[in-house]
Chains A and B, each alone.
Chain A
Amino acid sequence: MGEAVKMQISPADADVKPFENRGTPSDPAIVEGGASTSLKHESARMHVSGEATYIDDMPEPRGLVHVVPGLSTKAHARILSLDLDAVRAAPGVICVLTHKDVPGHNQVSPVGKNDEPLLAEDIVSYYGQPIFIVIADDRQNARKAAQLARITYEELPAILTIAQAREAGSALVWRPLEMKRGNVDTALSKAPKRLNGSITIGGQEHFYLEGQAALAQPGEEGEMRVWSSTQHPTETQHMVAHVLDRPSNLVTVEIRRMGGGFGGKETQANTPACLAALAANVTGRAAKMRLDRDDDMIMTGKRHDFVVDYDVGFDETGHILAVDMVLAARCGWSADLSGPVIDRALFHADNAYFYPDVRFRSEPLKTNTQSNTAYRGFGGPQGIVAAERVIEEIAFATGLDPLDVRLRNTYGTGSRDITPYHMTVEDSIASEIMTQLAENCDYRARRHALRASNTHSPYIRRGIALTPVKFGISFTATHYNQAGALVHIYTDGSVQVNHGGTEMGQGLHTKMVQIAMREFGLTEDRVRITATTTGKVPNTSATAASSGADLNGMAVLDAISKIKQRLVCFAAEHWEVAEGDVHFLPEGVQVGEALVSFPALVKAAYFARVSLSSNGFYKTPKISWNPDTGRGRPFYYFAYGAACAEVAIDLLTGETRIERVDILHDAGQSLNPAIDIGQIEGGFIQGAGWLTMEELVWDKAGHLRTHAPSTYKIPACSDRPRIFNVSLLEAAPNREATIFRSKAVGEPPFVHGVAVLQAISDALASLNNYTLCPQLDTPATPECILRTAERLRALPVP
């Protein structure tokens, strides 16, 4: 057979042509659209034509039932009686389930704390906690029935805010963390200048456009197949298995794509998946839970709000000498991911700056509110907002341009390079980026001009600020930094790529396709990405921490490399050339002097009984972290960037407008510049929304009053900056050996929104002739800005 194949692919055959040298084999041309070049989102054509399928769009299995939760209407109470008769009697209702119907563990704590019952037992711990589920033939019937429960409560004291939690003795959901280097108390007392203050930083609703959704279908002998809009299929699998009391090998979780995640489907997808699976288990029918938007917002966790107290010592030239910070966060009723989130706030409370003596302490406070969770940046942005407030304070105290304070305090290389967690910063480029951006966008001249024009504008004031970001890349829980992939080549030469990461719009699947295209020299139509499923790649980590492309990309590359090695070995032997003379190029596979088409090579290899499928695996090197000692190298590398924002504010109403934004961002050697710019633009707007118009309001009963887009306002089209320039840092490959020297780009650009906050603050500072730090809290809503303006007006103008 081998001989026959060899004959078929003689140089006369259409599949084999003479090789023309189009570049050195060590630097082969990358196929158009391959990794490191731009390619459209793999689902773009499906998105625009409505053909992209989300959970609720899937054809419904015969007999499907709908699941709707019944939610607590008390923030903290003991359930005295639960009368569900009217619910059961309502039209279309099949059954009603409570925690008593859970066959396994009624627990969904993702960190094993057993502090998060799937369905409330005798106590409810927040307004919106699921107590029961209604299973009905029709979703509307189920929703109506869920309103009919008669529940009596004995109310217990409810702790809703950080201040209340502190007053009540600061119950924590997680161990507090302390990071320190040097002796901060001594350094503070010796510092020529010292100031302290506090900043309140608001939370944020994810507002993924596709709400939480899961569809569970029972199978043979306890099998359960779950389609879940989840960022973490493996965890969802484990949760379903232990809620149903069965081994993980009976549960398969699959997700093709999410309609947005942003961290809100890292753990929060588990509850809908488990409740759908519970319903499927009890009824023996497929069951779907798709949350109504209001239920979704009332039930699920959000970005943590913080109060950060800071004490800083510095000198007259704006050099920071010591920083002491306490970062307190409202975590909600259970731990969820609050521990690592608050830790990451500490990891970023230095932003890009070297603090010679430093101490950071965390307070992960327990409250009777939604259990706050992962959200793009995972606490990092809150730490950075606090760090930038400190910079601002120093700037006003010294009369320096805040940009100069920033430039004077960035991490050095070789000295001034140790973080509060004792990691050496080896790649500090924050100063270079800020300097380059300031020149590109004419920051200094514009700042001067704005200040001049503000002096004769009584009502409208403008401000400008340029802020950096340094964002640590890796899960701080070291064991999460692993990934798997599974790549198949079929005998027609088409390729299928599977990996453990999930697609939520960030373009991860596109990048994975591009890696295969580049490695095999194939066009996009020859490479197919499939849904993420625990059946193909097991034991995966959440697609989170910006790590999706870094981890899964290397795992995909590993799988491909294994197959390629087999193909090279085969081709070398088959065509009697050296292995080093086999190259996968856009025009085909160069085998010595011949060019063999990829399908021909694959077919020949198949007949020669070469395996055309491989798994791949990757674990991030170099990293470690010990929270007990507060020491380690939690991050493989840092991603950098800077943003300059110019805003106008209305002193009569507190309204703002973003007039211009310039961003320079470090994506390393970008895997896909077009997608990365999309991440930066979208991340910026989301960050700006968080710090300005997005306000979560709870009433005194702990009821979230901003539980729909009518009351919770995310940025709309006209909220984007009127002038918006985004560039990638050029010629900046990652110094670490990441996938094609790229850098993670999911979370870091979210932080660029901080420039907007600081620009608003700069505009407010005009009220006191730029002598006082406005100490603007977030979200800087019109009311917050007006209050700050009124406070500043009441202070003397020097």
Chain B
Amino acid sequence: MRDHIQFYLGDQHYRLSDITPETTVLDWLREACHRTGTKEGCNEGDCGACTVLVVRLENNQLTWKAVNACIQFLWMLDGTQLFTVEDLRSPDGALHPVQQAMVDLHGSQCGFCTPGFVMSMVAYSKKAEASAKETDINDALAGNLCRCTGYAPIVKAMKQALLAPHDKFEQEQSKIITRLTALQNADMAEINTPHGSISLPRTADELASAYQNAPNATLVAGATDVGLWVTKRLQTLPHVISVSGAQDLKKIEHRPDGLWIGAATPYAEAQKDIATLFPDAGEVIRRIGSAQVRNVGTVCGNIGNGSPIGDGPPLFIAAGATLHLRRGETRRTLPLENYFLAYGQQDRQEGEFIEGILIPYPEPNLRYRAYKVSKRFDQDISAILGVFAFTMDGNGVITKARIAFGGMAATPKRASATEAALVGKRWDEHALIAAREAIQVDFAPLSDMRGSEWYRRTVAANLLTRCFAETTKMPQQPETRLAGWKEDVHG
């Protein structure tokens, strides 16, 4: 058992044992380290001005992840190397290629968002699959807001920076690996201070035991939600237990009965495997939060917090996923939709946590369509998320249907009346009309700042129409989705 965490900030080693559960990386950087290059724009993970780079050693490889420092807790840095904008210049003072490109192409105006952009851009440039495609660059930068430039020069700078052959971190790679190797520690950390307790289990067993012993503790995986409890609701967290340090929960497995996603797996790591099975789910996940949020926010955390507007649950409910819960040594499994009991209420007992979800492989003839509707295309919370999964027989008769919605009720919810209206019916105009009526029975949505009840009802029905247009053979297949950035006109 350790009583401290260890990490590097730039070249500086830190071994901390007197830290509070609530101290954020951003506040620590700015207040304790006087590193003021990292900015606070919103303190809720939506603007990206606080973006920093967290380097981890995973399977002997370095991973470079942009994260929002404002909603990351300091203790989450255990075993990592953190880089901020101050670390980018070479020892001779030369700018990093990303910085130089931003200068050359007029990528900054007021400059306040710029350090965050630069860090997101460096993180992107470190990705093996980084391309100069504007669609990919858009995804990488969706979590950084700029109010001055209109983004065009920043995207140009990103493309120019990708042409640079080297950056300073390439030369430092072996040094970073050596350092991080030395920091890896199989021991659970337990930090107790008058300000609170932090438990960092390294295995699912340790997590199970820690949580059973302290069921009132707050479980934290990526902190993309819990972070806001601290920064906005000003809550204290007397005891936090980390999920993300449990290495055996941080995995994706192709099991015989489906895709297993462990509780510590961030969206960024699960995205590709999910997209391979369910391309539309991949498209929605691409738009969940931002790169910074998906780098730490977990698939299971998105379920665990029980939000009625989380995008993950409808995607997985429609796919027929099961949720795997554990308390001590006791495990149980339930259909994902049954986890959500009511607003703010889930089927999770005291001391029980999510170990993972299992998403069954799609049947060969499964039609799966997922539609996210929001005011802004990227990095917005859905007004409505509609997911349609169904199979048809050779006569075009629907044999099975699972339809799930987010944003339409107090929980993520299946549209059971709509499903009933469709199963056994030929998927034609009559079935569509019946389904459009049934969906009004399924839901009684609220009006809020994201959309009125009328809008939600109308769009829910219209998404059935879109699904119909996309899954029915027509003489001339109509355009059903805004092209957005799908085709890259700039090459």
User: A residues near B, CB below 8 A?
Assistant: 40-41, 43-54, 56-57, 59, 140, 143-144, 147, 206-211, 257-262, 292-294, 456-460, 504-507, 648-650, 652-657, 659, 674-675, 677-678, 681-686, 693, 695, 697, 705-706, 708-711, 713-720, 722-724, 781-783, 786-787, 790
Contact status A56-B115, CB under 8 Å: no
Give Cα distance in the complex from A421 to B324, angstroms.
72
Q: Does B85 sit within 8 A of A, measured CB to CB?
A: yes
Known: A260-B110, A681-B150. A209 touches B145 (CB 8 A): yes
Contact status B449-A705, CB under 8 Å: yes
Q: Does B417 sit within 8 A of A, measured CB to CB?
A: no
Contact status A210-B110, CB under 8 Å: yes
Give Cα distance in the complex from A655 to B115, angstroms.
31
Other-chain residue from A206, A675, A709 in contact with B44 (beta carbon distance below 8 A)? A709
Closest 10 pairs between A and B when the two form their complex, measured CB to CB: A50-B37, A505-B110, A259-B112, A47-B111, A685-B150, A50-B85, A505-B109, A57-B36, A709-B46, A652-B462
Chain B residues positioned under 8 Å from A724 (CB to CB): 152
19 A-B residue pairs with CB within 8 Å: A52-B114, A208-B147, A211-B41, A293-B43, A459-B478, A460-B480, A505-B111, A505-B112, A505-B148, A708-B232, A709-B41, A711-B381, A711-B449, A715-B151, A717-B137, A717-B154, A720-B151, A720-B152, A782-B383
Q: Does B376 sit within 8 A of A, measured CB to CB?
A: yes
Q: Which of B170-203 contact A (CB under 8 A)?
A: none
Chain A residues positioned under 8 Å from B46 (CB to CB): 708-710
Contact status A293-B478, CB under 8 Å: no
Contact status A460-B232, CB under 8 Å: no
Contact status B106-A41, CB under 8 Å: yes
Chain A residues positioned under 8 Å from B465 (CB to CB): 459, 652
Q: Which of B95-103, B362-370, B420-428 contacts A (4 or more CB under 8 A)?
A: B95-103
Chain B residues positioned under 8 Å from A460 (CB to CB): 478-482
Residue of B nearest to A713 (CB): B376
Give Cα distance in the complex from A655 to B86, angstroms.
40
Known: A44-B108, A207-B147, A259-B110. A723 touches B489 (CB 8 A): yes
Q: Does B378 sit within 8 A of A, measured CB to CB?
A: yes
Main secondary structure of the interface of A (DSSP, over half): loop
Contact status B378-A717, CB under 8 Å: yes
Give Cα distance in the complex from A723 to B43, angstroms.
33
Most A-side CB within 10 Å, residue of B36, B99, B144, B154:
B36
Known: A708-B46, A710-B44, A710-B381. A717 touches B141 (CB 8 A): yes
Chain A residues positioned under 8 Å from B42 (CB to CB): 293, 708-710
Contact status B459-A786, CB under 8 Å: yes
Chain A residues positioned under 8 Å from B53 (CB to CB): none
Q: Does B54 sit within 8 A of A, measured CB to CB?
A: no
A45-B103, A47-B102, A783-B452 known; 14 other A-B pairs, CB under 8 Å?
A: A41-B109, A41-B111, A45-B95, A47-B108, A48-B108, A259-B113, A262-B147, A684-B150, A693-B376, A708-B46, A709-B47, A713-B375, A714-B147, A716-B151
Give Cα distance in the complex from A460 to B147, angstroms.
29
Q: Does B343 sit within 8 A of A, measured CB to CB?
A: no
Chain B residues positioned under 8 Å from A294 (CB to CB): 232
Give Cα distance in the complex from A740 to B458, angstroms.
56
Give Cα distance in the complex from A507 to B144, angstroms.
21
Q: Which of B101-140 contact A (CB under 8 A)?
A: 102-104, 106-115, 118, 134, 137-139
Chain A residues positioned under 8 Å from B44 (CB to CB): 293, 708-710
Give Cα distance in the complex from A716 to B148, angstroms.
11
Give Cα distance in the complex from A74 to B459, angstroms.
34
Contact status B377-A655, CB under 8 Å: yes
Residue of B nearest to A48 (CB): B99
Give Cα distance in the complex from A367 to B455, angstroms.
28
Most B-side CB within 10 Å, residue of A50, A140, A724, A790:
A50
Known: A505-B109, A505-B111, A710-B46. A50 touches B463 (CB 8 A): no
Contact status A693-B478, CB under 8 Å: no
Chain A residues positioned under 8 Å from B40 (CB to CB): 56
Give Cα distance in the complex from A684 to B148, angstroms.
10
Chain B residues positioned under 8 Å from A43 (CB to CB): 108, 111
Q: Which of B449-491 contact A (CB under 8 A)?
A: 449-452, 454-455, 458-459, 462-463, 465-466, 469, 476, 478-485, 489-490
Chain B residues positioned under 8 Å from A684 (CB to CB): 150
Contact status A49-B95, CB under 8 Å: yes
- Smallest CB separation, B152 vs chain A (Å): 5
Chain A residues positioned under 8 Å from B463 (CB to CB): 652-653
- Smallest CB separation, A159 vs chain B (Å): 21
Give Cα distance in the complex from A722 to B479, angstroms.
18
Residue of A nearest to B386 (CB): A653
